Chain A
């Protein structure tokens, strides 16, 4: 499934497929085409505007942020909100947000590594061997993602309290890895299925063991797929909010989503700072999404099941 659907998403430059010569179109069709372009542009502006607005807000002086009517251009540009994201206001140390960002990098990175390390071998085994009750097992794996997070968080909370994992980064890493493993297995199985099993058979005829054949011949071919899958796991862990807010409480453990959400407490809200931290937080995700754009459909479809 991974490739058939993935192919359907036009990658950059796919638009320049050979043009067929067409008979001259009647005026009606031309008007229609123009209307379609205008409609598309309007929709694009609506979809992109909030992001542009947030970026604008993040570089505005405080008084321009609260200007009525809103100022679309001609404001003074400042980077002080970005400085506030990283540096303690009026001090020299790292700000709470900077600590939260560091925690996010650690938690998202470690959980992704764990999910990949567990998921890729399992996917390979499911793809290559006749495992007993394979279909049931795969469905079971997928079905662990059907539960609403808010429902799962109650028993996880109780379990973690018993184990002393409440308010630890290890706790978050484990639960994120568990959420990403089903997705990793399903998506990677698609990639492994694409690699002919004959490669491994041939390698084994040459005297390699099955494991060596996997390691030396199949795994290198899977690297692009692994990268794409890992990026999805990374994005999920990076953006996750429900577990993060209920399973951690102290600032030195907390990841960025609850930390950013915490900025709206209190009587006055510093929207400039919120905008800047939102932009800083979203930037890596957008970069990663750009990197895996070819695999977006396959990833997202399973991603919907995953959560």
Chain B
């Protein structure tokens, strides 16, 4: 790398170089401040400030389309959201979707990782192949699958037809629409669980297996008493990441089903969007959003505590 001398000098202008003999401690501190504060500034303006704004708006009645200043209403918006039967319905849909999708991904992802870890050759290539779905944009994934699940000329129905199973209206029937959403999410994110499980499996020390095979332990015993306990904590962390992401999934719902048919695939995130951008009820939408964040944080805290207990054992 070409090291030019003018560049450090330019950067040093932010924190002047010390006079000879001055203790270096002080410049270190200035350097740290000069290096950290720009990043912090960006985060404060783009994340914290908007969030505080949303927090303020959540206590007001306000709409972005009307030219009326926000009017303070206290906790009324929160009460509305918590008691709304619509929200209860969306929460149930979201719960069903998160549990089914993440559950499916965990089982599949771990299975694939286990199978890959037992192969001697082609591990790298296989891993890369399985990772492709995860790298794609939700828009691309949503469109891919919308086409494949099309009732008339979708390839999935075409295959079902030739297997003599008949056609299914995947995205236009209430029950199958949610199922489709779960399937597509599973297709895209199984690789994530697989990748982390694979990391865990590869990190299991080989000598444990060797000791077990000296004891003539069965394959199943080795799996249950060595592999699983060592991979479990890592797997649980992966599950948490996935659950948080699935909980706030928006893009895929928007592209694949647009919440429909009816409201059968309307998750909480999608409902927030409807309240905010179709109903223009900015105050309520903000309260709704803040509540979602709070729920995620509380659940994550419980989960992390549970994880700590597991690790201690």
Residues of A within 8 A of B (CB): 4-5, 8-17, 19, 36-37, 39-40, 43-44, 47-48, 50-51, 53-54, 57, 65-70, 118-119, 121-122, 124-126, 128-129, 131, 137, 141, 144, 146-152, 154-159, 161, 174-175, 177-178, 181-182, 185, 204, 209-212, 215-216, 219-220, 223, 235, 238-242, 246, 257-258, 260-261, 263-264, 271, 274-275, 278, 281-282, 285-286, 289-290, 293, 296-297, 300-301, 304-305, 307
14 more contacts with CB within 8 A, not counting A53-B144, A220-B1, are: A8-B199, A15-B121, A51-B132, A57-B147, A125-B35, A150-B273, A154-B286, A156-B46, A181-B39, A211-B8, A220-B3, A239-B139, A289-B131, A307-B245
Instruction: Known A209-B27, A261-B143, A274-B143; judge A9-B202 contact (CB<8 A).
Output: yes
Tell me if A155 and B269 are in contact (CB < 8 A).
no
Tell me if B123 and A122 are in contact (CB < 8 A).
no
Contact of A43 among B112, B118, B122, B290 (CB under 8 A): B112
Contact of A8 among B42, B111, B190, B202 (CB under 8 A): B202
Give the nearest-CB partner of A140 in chain B. Answer: B43
* Complex Cα–Cα for A242 and B255 (A): 11
Enumerate chain A residues within 8 angstroms of B27, measured Cβ to Cβ: 209-210
Q: Which 9 A-B pairs have the closest CB atoms?
A: A151-B289, A148-B248, A178-B46, A155-B50, A304-B241, A239-B137, A70-B158, A121-B35, A8-B199
Enumerate chain B residues within 8 angstroms of A161, measured Cβ to Cβ: 64
A37 to chain B, nearest CB (A): 8
Give the nearest-CB partner of B152 in chain A. Answer: A68
Majority DSSP secondary structure for residues of A touching B: helix
The answer to whether B102 has its CB under 8 Å from any CB of chain A is no
Enumerate chain A residues within 8 angstroms of B8, measured Cβ to Cβ: 209, 211-212, 215-216
Q: List 23 A-B contacts (CB under 8 A).
A: A15-B119, A43-B112, A44-B129, A68-B158, A70-B153, A129-B28, A137-B40, A151-B292, A151-B293, A154-B285, A154-B286, A155-B50, A159-B53, A178-B42, A185-B39, A211-B15, A215-B11, A216-B8, A241-B137, A241-B255, A242-B251, A261-B143, A289-B132
B191 to chain A, nearest CB (A): 8
Enumerate chain B residues within 8 angstroms of A37, measured Cβ to Cβ: 119
Tell me if A275 and B132 are in contact (CB < 8 A).
no
* Complex Cα–Cα for A16 and B119 (A): 10
Cross-chain pair count, CB within 8 angstroms:
309
Enumerate chain A residues within 8 angstroms of B29, measured Cβ to Cβ: 129
Give the nearest-CB partner of B192 in chain A. Answer: A300
* Complex Cα–Cα for A16 and B122 (A): 8
The answer to whether B230 has its CB under 8 Å from any CB of chain A is no
Enumerate chain A residues within 8 angstroms of B198, measured Cβ to Cβ: 8-9
Tell me if B46 and A175 are in contact (CB < 8 A).
yes
Q: Which among A53, A151, A297 has the greatest number of chain B C-beta atoms within 10 A? A: A151
B235 to chain A, nearest CB (A): 12
Enumerate chain A residues within 8 angstroms of B144, measured Cβ to Cβ: 50-51, 53-54, 278
Tell me if A36 and B118 are in contact (CB < 8 A).
yes
Interface string of B84-124 (1 = CB under 8 A from A): 00000000000000000000000010011001101111111
The answer to whether B68 has its CB under 8 Å from any CB of chain A is no
Tell me if B1 and A219 are in contact (CB < 8 A).
yes
Tell me if A151 and B290 are in contact (CB < 8 A).
yes
The answer to whether B145 has its CB under 8 Å from any CB of chain A is yes
The answer to whether B31 has its CB under 8 Å from any CB of chain A is yes
Chain B residues touching A, range: 35 or more
Tell me if A261 and B32 are in contact (CB < 8 A).
no
The answer to whether B49 has its CB under 8 Å from any CB of chain A is yes
Interface string of B227-269 (1 = CB under 8 A from A): 0000000000100011011011011001100000000000001
Tell me if B251 and A285 are in contact (CB < 8 A).
no
Enumerate chain B residues within 8 angstroms of A240, measured Cβ to Cβ: 137
The answer to whether B162 has its CB under 8 Å from any CB of chain A is yes
Tell me if B51 and A48 are in contact (CB < 8 A).
no
Q: Which among B8, B122, B162, B254 has the greatest number of chain A C-beta atoms within 10 A? A: B8
Q: Which among B145, B285, B289 has the greatest number of chain A C-beta atoms within 10 A? A: B289
Instruction: Known A144-B43, A146-B244, A178-B43; judge A154-B289 contact (CB<8 A).
Output: yes
Contact of A239 among B122, B127, B138, B286 (CB under 8 A): B138
Q: Which among B17, B40, B142 has the greatest number of chain A C-beta atoms within 10 A? A: B40
Instruction: Known A150-B248, A242-B250; judge A53-B136 contact (CB<8 A).
Output: no
Which residues of B274-296 have CB atoms within 8 Å of chain A's CB atoms? Answer: 276-277, 282, 285-286, 289-290, 292-293, 296
